[in-house]
A and B are shown apart, each in its own frame.
Chain A
């Protein structure tokens, strides 16, 4: 098992950890800033699956993270994970707020696209 695989196991563990807030902080700090696409991808998916306001904010409104990641693979994986959510209420709310109020135009445009996808898919 190489280091990447070990980190992935830690990320999967954090996704189910009972100390959710601390787990999200660690995923945000280390996972979303990783230089490895696979780590960032898995981190974004994990944060979306948590489906909390804090975890979704990171992957929806942060520039260069989640749906705004420069890697198409990471961005597409994040969008797919959002579309797979059973309860999309919190995600849609954050996307709406982002479309209305975010300072970065790129972030607003991405949020708008994802919001449209989620509307059509639900």
Chain B
């Protein structure tokens, strides 16, 4: 017998032995462990239901995760919109303040301190220092106001 034919024969014989073994264990094909309790074989349904529960849990977790992601996205959108609103408000306030500051910078503010002092201290306008800033005509007017009977003469 040639070497090639010998190897082919050996291979076939091994395959046959495997087929025989598979045939013998065929009744346990749905039970991979091949364990029996009191003569009854545990059916594969037990494992199928276990798989279903796992799948259900997995689906639920996926839904939950999806909801969480969606919630996070919604939160991000809301947060961004609010942040943008706050930023735009801040920019507007800054712009307004700058405008006001610019207007203030261009506005000439004059305070009549002498007028205020004269109102607070009426006699102060009759101090020589204050009167010396006035013309003689103004002094004449003040004098006439103080002595209307003399001015009428």
Contacts and interface: CB of A to CB of B under 8 A. Distances in A.
A36 to B, nearest CB: 9
A7 B146 contact: yes
Contacts of B146: 3, 6-7, 10
A16 B131 CA distance: 10
Contacts of B131: 9-10, 13
The A interface is mostly helix, strand or loop, or mixed, namely helix
Interface in B124-141: 126-128, 131-132, 134-137, 139-140
A1 interface: yes
Interface string B103-128: 00000000000000000000100111
A109 interface: no
Contacts of B136: 14, 17, 19, 22-23, 25-26
A12 interface: yes
Nearest to B132: A13
B24 interface: no
B139 A26 contact: yes
A13 B139 CA distance: 9
A10 B150 contact: no
A39 to B, nearest CB: 9
The B interface is mostly helix, strand or loop, or mixed, namely helix
B40 interface: no
B67 to A, nearest CB: 87
B132 A1 contact: no
A33 interface: yes
A35 interface: yes
A55 to B, nearest CB: 14
Nearest to B142: A10
B128 A16 contact: yes
Contacts of A13: 128, 131-132, 134, 139
The 10 closest A-B pairs by CB, nearest first: A13-B131, A22-B136, A1-B123, A9-B126, A3-B146, A6-B126, A19-B136, A13-B128, A10-B139, A12-B128
Nearest to B123: A1
A26 B147 contact: no
A39 B126 CA distance: 16
